Structure 1
Amino acid sequence: MNAKEPQGTASRRAALRLMDAVLRKGLPLEAALDTAARDLKRPDDRAFAHAMVAEALRRLTDLDALIDSATKKPLPDDSKARAALRIALVQALAMDTPHHAAISTVLPLVDGGPRRLVHGVFSTLTKKGAALPELPSLPGNVRHRWQQAWGGLVVEAASRALATPPPLDLIFKDDAALDRLQCSCESRNPAAPNDETGLLLPQEHGEAHPLSLMPRHLRLPRDTHVPGLPGYVEGDWWVQDISASMPARLLGEGKGKTALDLCAAPGGKTMQLAAAGYDVTAVDASEKRLERLAENLARTKLNAKTIAVDVMKWEPKEKVDAILLDAPCSATGIFRRHPDVLYRARPRIIAALAEGQKAMLDRTAGWLEPGGTLVYSVCSLEPEEGEQVVEAFLADHLDFQILPIRSGEIAEGMTPSSEGYLRILPGILADHGGADGFFMVRMRRS
């Protein structure tokens, strides 16, 4: 740190780099963090830089509207002055940072006229009591796209989802593992959260409860301390959003059957299939991500073969009974966890991903035994990556038919479409903390 700079300036400098990496270079927030925060030695400084940018991305449309209301003409989107104001204002208006600290740690990052501009705009807005709306506004292009695809109620629900970080979902490898955690919870004092785990136990007067929305599922408050929960070391469960757990559930029990989990890392679906009795081969192009999958398998004491290879350059020696293809996608369905996707997933990128998904589905479908089952899924809210991919596939593969998803196979509150697939939109399970956006379809080869 420069001796003349206020303490905390380094984390704001890292935040500016991180925001630039997302908005200008199109990099994922998590992937860009190491480089952006390269000068930060303390984990809490690094975490704060990440938190500032994540919150700024949630509120970017509204932050920019405030900035534009206080300037004679709009600042360029990529100007350093606008970026510095975003970082200063999100601290002051959304993160409870004292105003003097929010601005004094940002001013050293801009020079000359832009510095005076940043100070003047910040002072004008804070002195007149500027505030952010209760619900964040979606970026205009995203709002328009989702309005056309899903309607105004879904757009409003998406804004509500963006305002609130999601809860924590645990998926259990068997019923006994869930029973063990529930029994452990019931044996603790129900009057208050456990200090070690942070777990809020069933309580009266409307306080938070652990909630099971499906077999082998438990939903906990988002600030639960995961490693301290009973059963973590023993490998009884893993963290996985309820939506992400649905595709593997659709394949059912697997004793005596073989399965391919394609694009498998970090392994939640692989573990589900292994726990269901399948002889699983997990394929992913990233060796690093497969290392994490292997760690998860070791902790949960579940077995699966892993292969680090691009599925477009590989094929199995034998056909299999089941295939789960959770294809690479825009990931717009997980915007409440990763708000950067709202700015990175542009129409051109969505179209390119859809073409890749079609090619991947075409290639891998031939690896399925006649009578076998294929589940295709994406954590995307874009019809181009879900419904339209499947329509094109079925038109070209007359030996495949949709095997309709039934209400009893999925969480209560989720409804299959008339075509038999499942589209999970913002607003679903809203009273229980919501769910990530997803599309999935189950098909059988005749």
Structure 2
Amino acid sequence: MADGARALAVALLDAVLGDRKLFAQALADLPAAAAPAERARAQRLALSVLRHLDPADRLLAPHLRKAPPLTVRNILRLAVVEMATEGAAPHGVVSSAVDLARRGRRTQHLAGLVNAVLRKLAPATFEGLPAQLMPMWLRQPLVRRWGRGVVAAIEAVHSRPPPLDLTAKPGLVAPGEPLPTGSFRLKDAGQVSALPGYEAGDWWVQDAAAALAVRLLDPQPGEDVADLCAAPGGKTLQLAAAGTRVTALDLSEARLGRLRENLARTGLQADVVAADLLGWEGGPFDAILLDAPCSATGTIRRHPDLPFVKDGSEIPELAALQATMLDRALGMLKPGGRLVFCTCSLLEEEGEAQLAALLDRHPGLSVETPEVAGVEHGWWTDRGGLRLRPDFWADTGGMDGFFIARVRKP
């Protein structure tokens, strides 16, 4: 592999682990001149390192008397992960790592250290790495709730590259294997835009767990439906494909750009509005979908950078915002209308507890648990919410962690 991709991978790791940038922002900040193939390879390598960071550090620790500068650590981590997870030839990996260190003005004096450390690590060491543990602020409440076995199973899913899930228009199929819930799954997708049906707009990328929110809402043709916090738009496309009159609202005009592109590609229609839900006057609607801002702790399998740029301190503020948004959304709902609330979070504060508090504030609401294809009985909570975990379907790649609940207004 060309060293250019490795250099970009180290730059991505420096941005996430040093500057605490989200991976998407770090990727956007890469030099525009970088070749697409190099960027794609760098992205894959950097994500693999983030999925195995602590295990790689444990392998390196006995050979380091003190921690070297971050860039050198990331060069070493990248080399270890390449050898451990891809079976890359040690000679080529070590040579490339040394060359990367020599290139940097601040790292060139440590090229010898890189060479010495990596050569001490015997090839027998590289038989795979254990799963990366979640940070304690997230791991501890999950262990208390589900036990160490479930948490270990979640972490095992997090350590593997996720498959690509697609949602097809009704009556059509997408590439990949069909899932019980109606989505399609590809393990080695390659370039998405080159897949059959992409140009025709037959399908869109959407994690299978995320797609269940609309299936729980059960939109009917001709209904007036709002998708609040709509970007990037997978759920809006589902609602439009079901024949509803969709209003897609989001605070970010920039994020809505991707939604508009997908609407154009698929030939679907929606009224797209850039506005703050808390100040927007809309409705009344037959049905509302609120995918509220949250910690995104359920998406670590696809976004392994999150544990390194978040510390859990934002959760109380997010939970308060979710409650405010829920109350606001209920005010836009017609009498007898239904609301689906969801968050891509593993935490009770952003799911089960949020539903319980909503029912306390609005005693007339009823929780509904409709039949949904592929949803197993054990996924429902005692209060009627749908709790999805990354270790569900672990043998085929897992799913994002979500909490989804449907309530009906009296």
**So what's the TM-score if we normalise by structure 1?**
0.83
Instruction: Give the Cα separation in 1 of the matches to 2:181 and 2:50.
Output: 32
- Which amino acid in 1 is paired with 2:306? V
Deviation at 1:269, TM superposition (A): 0.5
> 1:184 maps to what in 2?
none
Instruction: Give the Cα separation in 2 of the matches to 1:22 and 1:354.
Output: 25
Note if contact 1:407-1:416 (Cα within 8 Å) is conserved in structure 2: no
Is 1:18 the equivalent of 2:12?
Answer: yes
The change in CA–CA distance for 1:253 and 1:50 in structure 2 (over 3 A counts) is: closer
For each residue in 1:331-355, what CA deviation from the matched residue of structure 2 results, as whole angstroms up to 9, or x when unmatched? Answer: 1212111111222232202333222
For each residue in 1:73-129, what CA deviation from the matched residue of structure 2 results, as whole angstroms up to 9, or x when unmatched? Answer: 5x27x734323322232233334252333322332234366444333322222x464
Deviation at 1:140, TM superposition (A): 4.5
Instruction: Give the Cα separation in 2 of the matches to 1:93 and 1:312.
Output: 49
> 2:399 maps to what in 1?
435
The change in CA–CA distance for 1:30 and 1:414 in structure 2 (over 3 A counts) is: farther
Matched residue SS, 1:347: coil
Instruction: Give the Cα separation in 2 of the matches to 1:235 and 1:57.
Output: 33
Match of 2:166 among 166, 170, 173: 170
Instruction: Give the Cα separation in 2 of the matches to 1:362 and 1:16.
Output: 45
Instruction: Give the Cα separation in 1 of the matches to 2:377 and 2:390.
Output: 12
Is 1:306 the equivalent of 2:278?
Answer: no
Is 1:137 the equivalent of 2:103?
Answer: no
Deviation at 1:304, TM superposition (A): 0.7
The change in CA–CA distance for 1:342 and 1:407 in structure 2 (over 3 A counts) is: farther
Deviation at 1:239, TM superposition (A): 1.9
The change in CA–CA distance for 1:128 and 1:8 in structure 2 (over 3 A counts) is: closer
Matched residue SS, 2:379: coil
Deviation at 1:361, TM superposition (A): 1.8
1:323-402 alignment runs, 5 A limit? 323-402=288-367
* Unaligned 5+ runs, structure 1: 1-6, 182-198, 201-209
> 2:214 maps to what in 1?
248
Is 1:89 the equivalent of 2:80?
Answer: yes
Note if contact 1:380-1:437 (Cα within 8 Å) is conserved in structure 2: yes
Instruction: Give the Cα separation in 2 of the matches to 1:252 and 1:140.
Output: 36
Matched residue SS, 1:171: strand
Match of 1:57 among 50, 59, 71: 50
Deviation at 1:11, TM superposition (A): 4.0
* Unaligned 5+ runs, structure 2: none
Instruction: Give the Cα separation in 2 of the matches to 1:230 and 1:40.
Output: 29
Matched residues, number: 404
Instruction: Give the Cα separation in 2 of the matches to 1:8 and 1:218.
Output: 34
> 1:424 maps to what in 2?
388
- Which amino acid in 1 is paired with 2:364? D
Deviation at 1:377, TM superposition (A): 0.5
Note if contact 2:85-2:128 (Cα within 8 Å) is conserved in structure 1: no
Identity %: 39
Match of 1:269 among 228, 235, 243: 235
**So what's the TM-score if we normalise by structure 2?**
0.89
The change in CA–CA distance for 1:220 and 1:82 in structure 2 (over 3 A counts) is: closer
Note if contact 1:11-1:49 (Cα within 8 Å) is conserved in structure 2: yes
The change in CA–CA distance for 1:393 and 1:114 in structure 2 (over 3 A counts) is: farther
